[in-house]
Structure 1
Amino acid sequence: MAAPDARLRRARWVVLLFAVGSAVGTAFTGGVIGVLNEDDPTRAALGTLGVLAFSTTQAGAMYVVLTPWATETARRRWLVAFLLAAAASVPLAGPADAAEWETWAWLGGSLAGSAPLLVGRLAGVALAVAAVAASGAIGWWAGGSVPTYLLLTLVNGVAVAALCGVPMWLWDLLVEAREGRLAQARLAATEERLRFARDVHDLLGHTLSVIALKTELASRLAAADGERAGREAEEARTLAASALTELRQVVHGYRAVDLAAQLDAIRRVLESSGVRCTVTGPPAPLPEQVSALLIPVLREASTNVLRHSRARWCTIDIGGGIGDGDEVRMTVVNDGAAGDGPDAHSSGLRGLADRLAEAGGTLRSGRDGDTFTLDITLAVRP
C-alpha cells in the first residue's frame, strides 16, 4: 500500500483506538469491578494480576495485528503472549467474585469478540467457542450460574466483535478507495501516453521505413551512379525534414488541445474519482497561444488533485481575455491540501511557472488550511 497521508494516518489512529479500546475496555472494566468486589485479598491480588496481564497483552496483540507494517515476528510474539495471558487468567481472575459478578465472563467475552481479528476467521471462531465453553466451566466450578456466565460471555463477545469489526471493515473500504483513486490517476496518465505513442508511430513508421530504404539504395549506388545516389540521398533528406515538421505539428496539437474539450475531460475524470468539480469557462474563446499555456497547467493541477490530495471538491474558473492586452486569469481551488506540499525535487508547477514567465504570465499557489489555490494570470498578446 502507498504511504498514507496525514489525514489517512489520523483516520487509522481513530479506528485503531476505537477497536482496541472497545475490546480492552470491556475486559479491563468488567475485570476490575470483579476484583474490587472480591473480599479475599489473595484472590483480589491474583485477579488484578490476571486482568492486567490479559488487557495489556490483548492491546499489544490487536495493535500489531492491525498495523500493516508490523513484522511477522512481533505479531507472533504478541499473539502467543496474549493467548498465554488469557489461559493464565482462568485460574487467576476466574475465582474473583465468581458467584456475584461473573468476572471472567467479561474477559471471555472480550476474547471471543476479538479472536476473529487476531487469528483469522476459522481459528477465531474456534477460539471464541473455546472461550464460551471455558466461561461456562468456570461458572460451574465456582458455583455460579452457568447460564448467566454463558449469556454474559456471548453478549460481550457479540458487542466486541461488532465494535471492532465494523470500524475495521470501513477502514478497509477507505484504503481500497484510496488505492483505486491512485490507480485511476496512473491509468489515465498511461492511456494518454499510449495514445500519443500510437500517433507518433503512425506518423513516423512509414516515413522512417522509406528513408531507410532510400539511404540504403544511395549507399549501394554511390560507387556505380553518383548522380542517382545523390538524388536518393536528397529525397531521404527531404523526407526526414518533412517527418520532423509533422512530428512538431503532432506535439503542438498534443499540447494545444481545445481548451473547452480539456476542461470537460478534466471535469469528468475528477468526478469519476469522487471529486465534485465545478468548471466556469472563459466568456469567449481564447487565442490558441493562450490556451496552449493554460492547458498544461490544468493537466498538472488535476493530476495533483488525484495523486497528491484527498480532495472532495474542486473548482476551476477562467475569466477575462476578450481582446489583445486583456488579462486572462485561471483559478483552481480544491479542499485536499495535505502535508507540506511538493517536495524539494518536485518540478511540475515550477517548470510551468517558468514557461508562463517567458510569456509574461505568473503562477502563484497558496494553502489555507485544507484548501489549496492555484492562481494563473496571463495577458492576451497579438
Structure 2
Amino acid sequence: MIVLGVLMACFAWALIIPMSLTTPPSILLAAVFMTGLAIFGATMMLVLWVAVSPSPALGAAWWRTALLLAVSLALWAPTYGWAERGEQPWAWLAGFAIAACALITWQTGIVAAVVLGTAASIGGIVFDTSIAAGVLITLGCGLVVWAMCQAFVWLLRLLWAAQAGREAQAELAIAEERLRVSRDLHDVLGHRLGIIALKAELAADLTRRDPAQAAMESEGIRELANDTLVEVRRAIHGETTADLATQLQAADLVLRSAGIEASIDADQEVLPRIPQALSRLLAAVVREAVTNVLRHSDARHASITVADTEPLIRLIVVNDGVREAARSEVSGGSGLATLSARCTAMGAHLIVDRQADKNRFEVKVECRHDAGRSR
C-alpha cells in the first residue's frame, strides 16, 4: 500500500498537467472534462494496483491496460481541442498512461506506446500542432516516469520474491520434520505390528489346545501394544532419536537453511551431564521453538543458549522477528501449551516472554539437574 501511495502521488501529475493546460469553452464542458479526468485517474489506479501485486494475473493486466488506453483515447479530442495555444496537454496525459502500463510488463508498455504514440501523431495532423513535439512529449514522459517509478516496483517485487523464498524454506523445514515423524512411526509401527500379528495368530492357534499358553500370549500382546503406544508418542515428539545435543545441531542447520542467522551457545561439558529424559524434553522445546520461528516470525537472528547455573539448567531460545498478526497465534497454539504441561510433569518451568516494543520473542525453560532423574 505504501508503494501504491507513492506511485499515485507521482501519477497525480497526469491529472494536474492536462487541467492546467486546457481551457474548456463553458462551465458545463469543464465539468464534463473534469469527470473524464477523474475516470482516467481511477483507471490508472487499477493499472498501478496490478503493477504492485505480488503475482498479477495476465488477463487482469491486459484488460486494465485496454481500459486505460480506451479512456485515454476518449479524452484525445477534447484535450487537443481545448488545449491552450502551443501546448500539448494530451501528450503528457498519454505519457503517464504509457508509464503506468509499462510498470506491469514491458509488453503492455510497448502496446501502450504504439497506440498512444500513433494517436499523438494523428493529433498533430488533425489539430495542426507540432507532430514531433507531441510524439516526443508522449514517449519521453512515458520513459522518464517509468524509469523513476520502476525502482519502487522492482524493490517491491524483490521483497515479494524474498518473502516467497523464505516461506518456501520454512515449508521445506516443516516438510522435513513431518517426514521424520512419518519415518519414525514407520520404524516403530512396522516392526511392532508385525510381532503383534504373529503373536495374535499364535494365541488363536493355542486357544483350544493350550488355553493357559494362549492367555500368556494374549497378555504379551497387551503389553506389546502398550509399549507400542508409548513408542508412537515418543516418535511424534521426536524422542526416539534426538537428544538435546543432536537437536541443537539440527536447529542450527534448519535456521541457517531458512536464511536466519543462528547463534548456538551450549557448553559441551554441560550437555553430557543432563539426564537423558531431561535432554529429550529440552530437545522437544528447541524443536517447537525453532518451528515457531520458521512459521510465525520474520526473524533475522535467533539464538539458543544452554547454561548451567547451579542449581538450575536454563535453556533460552530468542528470535527478533515476531509478526504482529502472529503473536496471538503463537500464544494460542497447542505446541507450547503441550510442552509447558510436559515441563511441569518433569519438574521444569517453561516461560514465554513477548516484548512487542522490541519485537522479541523468548522461550525459556528452567529446571534442576535432578529433574530428569526424579520423575
Name the TM tier (shorter chain). 0.7 to 0.9
Residues 337, 283 of structure 1: CA spacing in aligned structure 2 closer, same or farther, 3 A cutoff? farther
Q: Which amino acid aligns with 2:280?
A: A
Give the match for residue 160 of structure 1: 145
Structure 2 CA distance for aligned equivalents of residues 144 and 276 of structure 1: 62
Question: Given the alignment of the two structures, is residue 267 of structure 1 paired with residue 252 of structure 2, yes or no?
Answer: yes
Q: 1:378 aligns with which of 351, 361, 366?
A: 366
2:196·2:225 contact (CA, 8 Å) conserved in 1?
Answer: yes
Post-superposition offset of 1:177: 2.6
**Runs of 5+ in structure 1 lacking a partner?**
1-12
Structure-2 residue corresponding to 1:294: 282
Secondary structure at the aligned position of 1:278 is classed as strand
What is the count of residue pairs matched by the alignment? Answer: 364
CA distance in structure 1 between the partners assigned to 2:48 and 2:305 by the alignment = 48
- With normalisation by structure 1, the TM-score equals 0.78
Deviates more, 1:342-351 or 1:26-35: 342-351
1:313 aligns with 2:298: no
CA distance in 2, matches of 1:168, 1:270: 30
Is 1:101 aligned with 2:87?
A: yes
String of CA shifts for 1:243-289, please: whole Å, max 9, x gaps.
56766776686267232332232223222222222222247324134
Offset of residue 105 of structure 1: 0.8
**TM-score, structure 2 normalization:** 0.80
Q: 2:178 aligns with which of 193, 215, 233?
A: 193
| Residue pair 1:139, 1:149 contacting (<8 A) in 2 also | yes
Q: Does 1:27 align with 2:9?
A: no
Identity of counterpart residues, as a percentage?
30
Deviation, structure 1 residue 215: 1.9
Could you say which residue in structure 1 is the equivalent of 2:3?
Answer: 15
Q: Structure 2: how far apart are the matches of 1:115 and 1:337?
A: 34
- Structure 2 vs 1, CA of residues 132 and 244 (structure 1 numbering), >3 Å: closer, same or farther? closer
The answer as to 2:99 corresponding to 1:113 is: yes
Per the alignment, residue 361 of structure 1 pairs with 349
Partner of 1:6: none
2:130 aligns with 145
- Map of 1:1-382 to 2, 5 A cutoff? 13-22=1-10, 24-35=11-22, 38=23, 45=30, 48-63=34-49, 66=52, 82-97=68-83, 99-116=85-102, 122=107, 124-226=109-211, 229=214, 233=218, 236=221, 240=225, 254=239, 257-282=242-267, 284-286=269-271, 287-288=274-275, 289-321=277-309, 323=310, 325-339=311-325, 341-343=327-329, 345-358=332-345, 359-382=347-370
SS at match of 1:97: coil
Displacement of 1:97 after TM fit? 3.4
Task: Summarize the Cα distance change of 1:109–1:367 in structure 2 as closer, same or farther, 3 Å threshold.
Answer: same
Check whether the contact 1:90–1:104 (CA below 8 A) recurs between aligned residues: yes
Secondary structure of 2:118's counterpart equals helix
8 Å Cα contact 1:316/1:332 also seen in 2: yes
Residue segments in structure 2 that go unaligned for 5+ positions in a row = 371-375
SS in 1 for 2:81: coil
SS in 1 for 2:318: strand
Counterparts of 2:52 and 2:65, CA distance in 1: 12
Q: Are 2:21 and 2:83, in contact at CA under 8 Å, matched by a contact in 1?
A: yes
**Pairwise CA distance, 1:152:** 1.2
Check 1:237–1:193 CA distance in 2 against 1; reply closer, same or farther (3 A cut): same
Following superposition, the deviation at residue 32 of structure 1 comes to: 2.8
* Distance apart, 1:225 and its partner CA: 4.9
Distance 1:170 1:104 in 2: 31
After superposition, the C-alpha distances for 1:122-141 in whole angstroms (9 at most, x for unaligned) are: 45532320101111221233
Which sits farther off after the overlay, 173-182 or 85-94?
Answer: 173-182
The one-letter amino acid of 2:164's match is E
Report the aligned-residue RMSD: 3.8
CA 1:75–1:333 in 2, change beyond 3 Å: closer, same or farther?
A: closer
* Cα distance between partner residues in 1 of 2:191 and 2:317: 43
Deviations 1:148-205 (A, max 9, x none): 1111111111123334444334333322332332232232222222223223323432
CA distance in 2, matches of 1:175, 1:283: 40
Corresponding letter in the other structure for 1:272: S
CA separation in 1, counterparts of 2:165 and 2:238? 31
Give the 3-state SS of the residue equivalent to 1:144 in structure 2: coil
Q: Report if the CA contact (8 A) 1:34-1:101 is conserved.
A: yes
